[in-house]
Amino acid sequence: MAKVTSKLQVTVPKALAERYAIRPGDEIAWEAAGDAIRVVPHGRAPSADGATRLRLFDRATDRQRRRNRSSGAARPPAGRGWTREELYDRGRTR
């Protein structure tokens, strides 16, 4: 966890700096994101407006719903030889 200094400076954790290729001297943007603050390295994709973000969220939600329907999560996998319920009943006396 990073701390804010008396000059209101913050250190970017090394793992994040490496992951997002942030180097000393790079510019970053600070954006309000509801109850959070978003840090965006300069030159990355600009933030989408609210309507675009909502449209993208709806599309992602629809994709996930289709995945859930087609994955067959309600039926047990074939060929496993045991069920989840059997795992929880093991070792218990009835």
Q: What is the pLDDT of residue 7?
A: 95
pTM score of the predicted model: 0.43
At 28 the three-state DSSP class reads strand
pLDDT band of residue 90 (cuts 50, 70, 90) is low
pLDDT at residue 11 tops 60: yes
Render pLDDT for 41-81 as a digit per residue (tens, 0 to 9). Answer: 877 666 677 888 888 889 989 988 988 887 665 565 667 77
Q: What is the pLDDT of residue 77?
A: 60
**Average pLDDT taken over every residue of the chain:** 82
Q: Scanning the structure block, which residue is given the tokens 């510019």?
A: 27
